[in-house]
Homo-oligomer: A and B are copies of this chain.
Amino acid sequence: MNEDYIARSAQLALLLEVSAYPKPGNVGRRHDFKDTHYEHFLASSVAVYPVLREAAARGRCKGGGVGELIRRGVEESMEWQSGGNTHFGALLLLTPLAMAAGACESSGYKEVKRKAKEIMLSTSVDDAVEVYRAFPKAKVKVRTDVPELDVMDENSLTVITEKKLSLYQILTISASYDLISRELVGGFEKTFRYAPLLSDFAKEMCINDAIAHAYLRFLSEEEDTFVKMKFGREKSKYVRERAKMIVGRGYELKAVEEFDEELIREGINPGSTADIIAAALFIAILGGLKVD
């Protein structure tokens, strides 16, 4: 597929995802976080366009370097806004997906999914080093369960090089506690499951509501590991139960808004869920989902 078509689909996914309302707990068009505002997400979505296009172009030419592209995407994002981490998780997912789309003739789900999995399987030590370099730049707030490879510790780079660990190998470790890593080593299962769901929703409602519904559905079905890491198992279970109730009762707007207010008040932001919904939106847009 054409690289500008791929980059635009990915960028539109980022913009529509962050704009969707109400999307309990996350930055959206109607509320900011203290230091990270809606406009920071807009600027970051703009900033990463050239890197997304290059990912697609490299995919077409069978080139590698997914780690380098992620690191450069993060650098561009930080260059264009000063709200901190906006798209690190999303870039981890969108970069290999954009490369995969670039390598494919058509936007058929199966082909892109297979290719994306292949790209992740063939990542190198360099890819790992680049992603580790990107972490501190992205100002990600994480607590790692892999102490010997702390993403904020410069010595981790030496360990990675000495042990010759590929990006895929490292993500296999973090997959035990992190939704994004799990997606990256697990063949993007959730991304490609939610893409057709988004398209189905969009046949029945406006694009904003389709995204908001898919987001809630995800919250009700999966544990947001970002919430779990920051607030513990009990809280993340509670978030899932609340979402399940809302979905079960037909996504009543008032209930969603109350849930949103509650999460915002407590600072609980299901960031990983938002990242995966953005990736799923990208695949859906590539496949023909339009803003009608």
Contact = CB atoms under 8 A, between A and B. Distances in A.
Contacts of A292: 81-82
B290 A39 contact: no
A253 interface: no
B80 A291 contact: yes
A11 interface: yes
A82 B290 contact: yes
B291 A208 contact: no
Interface stretch (A41-49, A59-67, A140-148, A234-242): A41-49
Given A49-B4, A80-B8, A82-B290, A206 B37 contact: yes
Contacts of A267: none
A contact face: mostly helix, strand, loop, or mixed: helix
B81 A291 contact: yes
Contact of A38 (B4, B19, B38, B50): B19
A15 interface: yes
A207 interface: yes
Nearest to A51: B4
B82 A46 contact: no
A29 interface: yes
Interface string A180-208: 00000000000000000000000000111
Given A7-B49, A81-B290, 11 more contacts: A4-B49, A4-B50, A11-B46, A12-B80, A16-B39, A16-B42, A19-B38, A19-B39, A39-B206, A80-B290, A81-B292
Q: What are the nearest 6 A-B pairs in CB distance? A: A43-B291, A29-B29, A12-B46, A81-B291, A4-B50, A15-B42
10 contacts: A8-B80, A12-B43, A15-B42, A16-B42, A29-B29, A29-B38, A30-B30, A39-B207, A42-B291, A81-B290
